[in-house]
Structure formats: C-alpha cells, structure tokens
Amino acid sequence: MTPARRALLGGLVAAAALPFVPRAARAHHSTVIPALREGGHVVYFRHAATQWSGIDRIEWPRERQRLLSAEGERQARVIGEAWEELGITAGEVWASPFARCADHARISFGRATEDMRLIGLLSDDEGRRERVAFLRTLVTTRPEPGTNRVIVAHRSNIAEVAGVALEEGEAVVLTPDAAGGFTVRGTFMPDEWTG
C-alpha cells in the first residue's frame, strides 16, 4: 500500500471512530458578545481550516504536520481582529502543540501556552484519561476576572468533555459554574464573530 493510500485509509478509520456528537446551538450574538466583554468564560476553538493531509503525529517535524491553509490563516486573523474590535479580552491562551493549533492561537491572540495534554483524543493510550481531566479542569475553572480563557485544540477533546462537535475554525463558548460544571452558551464560526 502506498503512503498516500495508507494516510487516506488512516484518516477514514479515525473519522469513523469518532462518536456522533450533536451540534451546539449557534451563539446569540446580542447576548453572548456582551457577556464575553465582561469576562468569565472559556472559548474553545477547533483549529482553523487546514491543508488536509491525513493523520499526523506530534513528533513529526512541522513541515510534515497538517498545517493551516491560507483560508485557515485568514480565519485566525478575522477572529483576532473581531475580538479586538468587540472589546473581548483573552486572558490565558492555551493550545495543543500541533502547529495548526499553536499557529491559530498566535495569529488570533498573539501568544499561546502549548501543552501536550491538549493533543487529540483519537487514541486510547494511557495518557488519554489525563488529557480529558486537564481539559475538564480548564473548562470548569473560572478565568481571571474580566478575561476569557481561550483554548485552541482538536475536535475530539471538546466532543469528549462537552459533547459538542466543532468544524474547523468553529468555537464554543462555555461558562463555568460554581458547582464545577459549565453551561454551553453556543458556537461561532470564524466569520460570525463580526456579527
């Protein structure tokens, strides 16, 4: 089997292994944006659009990883510009160390704290449980007052923790509660941040 066919087959198998996850409701711009301006929320982005090349691995050099496409770079810029224009403050900015996630975070917000516990959940390796627990902590802990915690990572992580299916570039807004849980406020596609 050729490497290209092997990559395609691997991608199909991985996609088939993902559980069906319902879509979250679109965020209501007139209520969610003012809430984000006040802070206290977690905004989880699935990385922006990529040059699909099949499954990649974190230990691969950058040039072999699935990278943001020109459209993905545009989406990340639109998000960052919209947040600035809307007066939404990003406090902590976390990212999976895959180039597509870290690049999205840096283009949108100018920085990223990369953490291996944010790599995807497509495998059942022994670190999976720790990665789920880490993300659960990030989405259930209130951010610093007046800020919003940003996370840029993968579809599988947020699907596991919040039961939300995100497209490339899509974000879900979560509000941590006092009981150690969160409320899903809705989702935004990249161009929806501008209203």
Q: How far apart are CA 59 and CA 158, in angstroms?
A: 22
On whether the pTM is more than 0.75, the answer is yes
Euclidean distance between CA atoms 117 and 36, whole angstroms: 26
Mean confidence (pLDDT) of the chain:
87
Which residues have CB under 8 Å from 102's CB, separation 6+?
95, 96, 112, 114, 152
- Whether the per-residue pLDDT at 123 is higher than 80: the answer is no
**Residue 112 is part of a domain; what is its CATH number?**
3.40.50.1240
Confidence at residue 142, expressed as pLDDT on a 0 to 100 scale: 97
Q: What percent of the chain has pLDDT over 70?
A: 85
- Among 46-55, 92-101, 135-144, the minimum mean pLDDT is found in 46-55
Total domains in the chain come to: 1
For residues 112 and 99, the answer to whether their CB atoms sit within 8 Å is no
Helix (H, G, I), strand (E, B) or coil at 56: coil
How many angstroms separate the Cα of 179 from the Cα of each of 57, 104, 136? 36, 31, 13
Distance CA 114, CA 126 (A): 20
Let me know if 25 is exposed, middle or buried by CB neighbors in 10 A (0-12, 13-18, 19+). Answer: exposed
Q: Per-residue pLDDT tens for 23-73? A: 455 667 789 999 999 999 999 999 999 997 777 788 888 888 999 999 999
pLDDT at 100 over 80: yes
What's the Cα-to-Cα distance from 188 to each of 61, 124, 146, 192, rounded to whole Å?
31, 30, 21, 6
Q: Quote the pLDDT of residue 122.
A: 76
Query: In 3D, which of 12, 104, 115 has the Cα closest to residue 55?
Result: 12
In this predicted structure, what is the pLDDT of residue 56? 79
Residue 10: what pLDDT?
Answer: 42
Report the alpha-carbon distance of residue 171 to residue 190 in Å, rounded.
8
Domain that holds residue 52: 3-194
